[in-house]
Amino acid sequence: MTLPSEPTNDVPRPDAHPSASAGLARPLQGIIVPMVTPLVDRDTLDTVGLERLVEHILSGGVNGLFVLGTTGEAPSLSYRLRRELIDRTCRQVRGRVPVLVGITDTAFVESVQLAGVAADAGAAAVVVAPPYYFPAGQAELLEYLKHLVPQLPLPLFLYNMPSHTKLAFELETMREAAKLQGLVGLKDSSANMIYFQCLLSLFRDRPDFTLLVGPEQLLGQAVLLGAHGGVNGGGNLHPRLYVGLYEAARDRDLDRMAALQRQVMQISTGIYSVGRFGSSYLKGLKCALSILGICSDFMAEPFHRFNPPERTRIERELRDLGLLE
């Protein structure tokens, strides 16, 4: 057996931060959609679905696309497919909005390599959650970031997702990490609004540091408190709704916020809560996109698409929401 000689990215890149990321506003504001990954089978992209999905999302007036996040089932995809997805998405977007690329991985070297792929493809930034197999501590997490950030050719957003990674970015860690050149923001999916407000306090004097909220049910209130925007999965389905809610919150239009929030909660309790699965959110979202004819609902292992009974319930919900005739 001949060992493959893939290049490794294990040295700092002197030419980092090229023009591709020049378009990244600091702070990044508005709705960034964490895109689902359309699949036709376990290792094949639904390329037509991907094109439709990108156009559907962009038509809603969103401010960015985030590929290979949790909603994108990134950890369940092969590296080959991840690279293809990055490439195809960036080509399809053609710079209309910044593309952020998830590089979260248990292997440092693979994260750096994905960041290189993202830079080559013209992405604007990369996003990383803590490595999620070994139970590490905050000191180890901070050291990891100190080693990682200089290796990255693109600006970095952190991604706080303790329910999946077992490890959160504690406030003291964030205080130190934020000093790293190239670290430009944080997406918080902890759903802990006390923590989020502490972040807002911590970064009061850093108007360039982007703070985005993950759970869409919290988008409105987070923006009202000072968040720069949201990274909300529902934007795959109904991008205009989330853009509208973001704008209403930004403009402090409380009546409009309340009306839109009601729709957001309807999607949350209707589309994301079918079945008794921890994965109901992902399954419901892909199922809805499939019903709307946007892309396939094939899911990467260990998940599997909804069966007809659940699909029928999602259809009914889409009708109630006015998204399906």
> Is 133 among the residues known to form the active site?
no
Least spacing, CB of residue 255 vs a copy of itself, in Å: 9
Report the residue number, 29 or 303, with the smaller CB distance to a copy of itself.
303
Q: Smallest distance, Å, CB 286 to a copy of itself?
A: 14
Note whether 35 and 65 are within 8 A (CB): yes
Q: Which of 159, 195, 242, 246 is catalytic?
A: 159
- Please state the closest distance from residue 300 (CB atom) to a copy of itself, in A: 7
Taking the least distance from each CB to a copy of itself, the nearer of 63 and 183 is 183
CA nearest to 56, candidates 92, 87, 100, 21: 92
Which residues pair with residue 159 across a beta bridge?
A: 187
Q: Give me the least distance between CB of 107 and a copy of itself, in Å please.
A: 5
CA angle 287, 289, 294 (to 5 degrees): 140
Other Cβ atoms closer than 10 A to 163:
11
Identify which of 196, 150, 194, 88 has the alpha carbon closest to the alpha carbon of residue 186: 196
To a copy of itself, the closest distance from the beta carbon of 245 in angstroms equals: 13
Please, which residue, 65 or 264, has the CB nearer to a copy of itself? 264
Please state whether beta strands 39-41 and 44-45 pair in parallel, antiparallel, or not at all (unpaired). Answer: antiparallel
CA distance 180 to 44: 37
Angular region, 95: left φ>0, alpha ψ -120 to 50, beta rest: left
**Choice among 144, 187, 246, 283 that is catalytic:** 187
Closer by beta carbon to a copy of itself, 14 or else 278 = 278
159 has catalytic annotation = yes
Residues in the chain: 325
Q: Which of residues 25 and 197 has its CB atom nearest to a copy of itself in the complex?
A: 197
What Cα–Cα distance (Å) separates residue 111 from each residue in 23, 75, 130, 275, 314?
23, 12, 11, 34, 36
Return the SS3 of 40: strand
Query: What are the catalytic residues?
Result: 159, 187
